[in-house]
Structure 1
Amino acid sequence: MAEWKAKRFWKAATVGEAEGGYTVLLDSRAVKTPAKAALVVPSRALAQALAAEWDAQVEAIDPTTMPITRTVNSAIDKVALQRAEVADLLAEYGDSDLLCYRASHPAELVSRQQDAWDPMLDWAAETLEARLEPRAGIIHAPQDAAALAALRTRVHALDPFELAAFHDLVSLTGSLVLGFAAYHALQPRERLWEISRLDESWQEEQWGIDEEARDISAQKRAAFEDAGRFLELLRTSE
């Protein structure tokens, strides 16, 4: 049996003002989240991007082509209701940050990790007031409690919309530091993604390309870009 999909029923998707911000109107009907909550965002630019996703649907609605809508739904239906728990979950990445677990050999890989990852840790120490220390190997070694507390405070300061996008930035890279680097637009997102995939790139150089793994990585990279774009739209003024 073919999977049932909701059909397009509207002629045009537009942006409308709503209490607390902006919403998307399908003709004259305001969009709601899957949990039937009012879909209201604080930025007109974000609402315009939402409307563009809805307007791009042809016959059947395909959520996989609507990353901005999915993130807004997550922010309203999930993150806003358990904000502290989500923030705690993401803050935990600081104690096992990708950038802190280094190879002990070969020398070339060790050097690449130092060149790409040390500047990120230095930036976190200076800008985020959290010095995380690298260690060789994969065995967990706790980070400084004060540094983790500083990172936790910053994560908890994010609002539900920011936190929903930040979740993807962190979980896709495995790094709280890189998540904050993307949040602060420290470097182009493409470069930050490359930094997070340094080990995988090394493996490809040594053993060749695994097409399935590369396809999965491409999907994750697109999701990382979507999360960064979401934050840009969220911050864009009128």
Structure 2
Amino acid sequence: MSDWKPKRFWTNSTVVEADGGFTVELDGRRVKTPAKAGLIVPTQAMAKAIAEEWDAQEGEVDPASMPFTRSANAAIDKVRIQHAEVADMLAAYGDSDLLCYRASHPQELVNRQDEQWSPALDWAAETLGAQLKPVSGVVHEPQPREVLDVLSFQVHALGPFHLAAFHDLVSLSGSLILGFAAARNWREADEIWRISRVDELWQEEQWGADDEASEHAEIKRQSFLHAKRFFDVSG
């Protein structure tokens, strides 16, 4: 959508029912995706969020201010078409999950990782039926194939809109388990985001925060929180 910036030409944005879900009309004209597909979404709540974004536009349309529209476009134009490939890519995070690679020192960081990451792995074992094994260090150690298969099955079971949101939950946190934890309401999304940043937050405590890094982290945090909202309104 980076080059797609028409000027506002409509007065009213309206949510209407469509075949297979809901869509948004701008003065009676249905919104389309950048690939010219119909912007038909699975829930009225999602369509309402998209309509509110269009209502908020003044002058030129600013895609950066329309996260629900962008996510819906991605679900329709990309994820729906490449569902298996996207699911495979995300499922692969399970074999090198952030939560499984632990520091060997200093002890304070070792303890903090254990306190914040081990409960998430325990939750995954109980809720997802998948017990990943933590290791010390950064050298890759494969996880049991049967465990990865269990996780992969659950990723592939997600529909295109859920999978579009799940893509960001996993890729932004670096963890398939934390992606599932956010999607399934293990804890509040903001807390899950902080759990994903144990290492970075510990480094900040030791050396102080870098303004540019902090700004970048906040952008990622907001994107993570949006992904959770998009997942929730996907039905």
The alignment's TM-score, normalised by the length of structure 2, stands at 0.98
Partner residue of 1:55? 55
Q: Contact (CA 8 Å) 2:5, 2:63: kept in 1 or not?
A: no
Cα shift at 1:4: 8.4
Residue of structure 2 in register with 1:198 after alignment: 198
Q: Deviations over 1:130-161 (max 9, x none)?
A: 11011111111100111100000000000000
Aligned equivalent of 1:46: 46
Residue aligning to 1:11: 11
The 8 Å contact of residues 76 and 160 in structure 2, kept in 1 or not, is answered as yes
Alpha-carbon distance between aligned partners in 2 of 1:77 and 1:168, rounded to the nearest angstrom: 16
The corresponding residue for 1:27 is: 27
Report the Cα distance in structure 1 between the residues aligned to 2:232 and 2:91, rounded to whole angstroms.
Answer: 22
Specify the code of the residue in structure 1 equivalent to 2:143.
Q
Unaligned runs of 5+ in 1: none
Letter of the structure 1 residue corresponding to residue 223 of structure 2: A
TM-score scaled by structure 1? 0.96
Please name the residue that 2:102 is paired with.
102
Offset from partner CA, 1:165-199 (integer Å, 9 cap, x none): 00000000000000000010110001000000110
Q: Where does structure 2 lack aligned partners over 5 or more consecutive residues?
A: none
Q: Distance in 1 between matches of 2:4 and 2:50?
A: 23
Q: What is the percent sequence identity of the aligned residues?
A: 60
Q: What is the rounded CA distance, in whole Å, between the counterparts of 1:114 and 1:229 in structure 2?
A: 28
* CA distance in 2 between partners of 1:232 and 1:155 (Å): 16
Instruction: Please report how far the alpha carbon of residue 231 of structure 1 lies from its aligned counterpart in structure 2 after TM superposition.
Output: 1.5
Q: What is the CA distance between 1:88 and its match in structure 2?
A: 0.1
Runs of 4+ in 1 over 6 A off after TM superposition: none
For 1:73 and 1:105, locate their aligned partners in 2 and report how far apart those are by CA, in whole Å: 44
RMSD: 1.0
Match of 1:184 in 2: 184
Number of matched residues? 233
- Please give the residue correspondences for 1:9-158 in structure 2 after superposition, counting only pairs within 5 Å: 9-158=9-158
